[in-house]
Amino acid sequence: MSKNLFVVGTGTDIGKTYVAGLLVKKTQEISHRSAYFKAAMSGNSRRPDGSLIPGDAVAVQAMSGIEQPLADMCPYVYEDAYSPHLAARLAGKPVELARVLECFDKLAASYDYVTLEGSGGILCPLRHDEQRLSLVDFIKARQFAAVMVADAGLGTLNGVGLTAAYMRAEGLHLKGVIFNNFQPGNILHEDNRVMCEELFGLKILACVQPGDVDIDIAAPDMAALYE
């Protein structure tokens, strides 16, 4: 069975997919049997034959070089660029936790390391109709350890602090923070790194700069993040 790590974010478009791709790429230094998984993807375009292209999966595959089939990366792919619960409702294809777990478990049996990515922020609903399903439900179902991706810029302290507080209240295992769009020497970015550690007791695991093609985490430390 695989060792796993769940990538959560302080919100949408802060670089979860980018960082997930870097993590997948890095795990290949430990084992070539590395994989990526996302329960639900929205905002995807269509191929000429009408089938949906799982955009985040394509991006991770291109960045990391993994040979995992795209079809194994995400069980629910939607066209509308909305929260998964709304995109699923419009498509008439609600997310079923049983199917998500079945697809993940199949993946876990075939790979050594699986990097999972959430949708939006930690409170993002996957389903909200006669049934309720959230990212937290999925994380708890397999007791995934998690890392938080946050933008290094203005306003991140509030997002990081609230996300961490919620995750801790839910009993989730948050291993630390990875800053995206970090600029060394930028007084605000440097201060945010210090303040996240001092205010919230969070370890800053890495700081990713724009355009980075690797993440500065040593292979032994990377292996220790995955459980």
Residue 16 known to bind ligand: yes
Instruction: Measure Cα distances from 105 to 8, 157, 189 in Å.
Output: 20, 35, 38
Q: Is 181 annotated as a binding residue?
A: yes
Instruction: Return the residue matching tokens 């670089």.
Output: 15
Location of structure tokens 């060792």: 3
Helix (H) or strand (E) holding 127: strand 125-128
Q: Is 49 annotated as a binding residue?
A: no
- Of residues 3, 25, 26, 38, which has the active-site annotation? 38
34 annotated as ligand-binding: no
Q: 26 labelled as ligand-binding?
A: no
Does the annotation list 44 as a binding residue?
A: no
Residue 162, H or E segment: helix 156-169
Contact 141, 105 (CB under 8 A): no
**Catalytic (active site) residue 106:** no
d(CA 128, CA 138): 14
Annotation-wise, does 56 bind a ligand?
A: yes
As a whole number of angstroms, the distance between CA 204 and CA 191 comes to 12
Q: Is 159 annotated as a binding residue?
A: no
Q: Is 18 annotated as a binding residue?
A: yes
- Nearest Cα residue to 74 out of 92, 55, 93, 90: 55
Q: Which positions are annotated as active-site residues?
A: 38
Residues making up the annotated binding site for substrate are 42
Residues making up the annotated binding site for ATP are 13-18, 56, 117-120, 180-181
Residues making up the annotated binding site are 13-18, 42, 56, 117-120, 180-181
Residues making up the annotated binding site for Mg(2+) are 17, 56, 117
